[in-house]
Amino acid sequence: MRFTETPLKGAFVLELEERGDDRGAFARTFCQKEFTDHGLKPTVAQCNLSYNYKAGTMRGMHYQVPPAAETKLVRCTTGAIYDVIVDLRPESPTYLRHFGVELTAANRKALYVPELFAHGYLALTDGAEVAYQVGEMYTPGCERGIQHNDPTLGIKWPTAVSVISPKDAAWPAFDPAKAFA
């Protein structure tokens, strides 16, 4: 795997290093030692899969607070998504900055999301399927979220949101006083 750090410290885009022959190709998508060598948390507590019927489907912006803060390794296995993370670590020099990347079945890139980063994505194609390796169990009492279109964040989504769950639509604007409460 090739690890490219994003402008947000601790967040990485991962690219496969394929080994090919006349049968096709092989590539490692996760290696505990390589993650540790890059200072990443290699814990996988659960694996999730989301399927999005329509382009324009928004999922996010989600995060969990301690004691169940979670990392994520996100990969689009079918179709394409625009994946965005926001640094919510108050002590970070990139606090409240965001980073977005297109993850597609064709480019096979993945995004490593550190703890205390909000995460969300917009499906760019019908039938976009997304696989997540998550470093902590889903803990409803620790779940938080932020509006995907919060003007404080200034995220420029590449296309309009046409489908969003009532829960994701109801997330509040970012409030530092309530972010970890």
Tell me: the pLDDT tens digits for 30-79? 999 999 999 999 999 999 999 999 999 999 999 999 999 999 999 999 99
**What integer is the mean pLDDT of 163-171?**
98
**What integer is the mean pLDDT of 97-125?**
98
Beta strand extents in 11-94 (DSSP E only): 12-15, 19-21, 24-26, 46-52, 57-64, 72-78, 80-87
Question: Is there a domain that residue 71 lies in?
Answer: yes
SS (H, E, C) 49-69: EEEECCCCEEEEEEEECCCCC
**pLDDT of the residue at 4:** 98
Q: How many domains does the chain have?
A: 1
Q: How far is CA 167 from the centre of its chain?
A: 18
Tokens representing 157 are 């989504």
Question: Is there a domain that residue 26 lies in?
Answer: no
Q: Please report, for the domain that includes residue 79, its CATH number.
A: 2.60.120.10
pTM of the entire predicted model: 0.96
Catalytic residue IDs = 62, 132
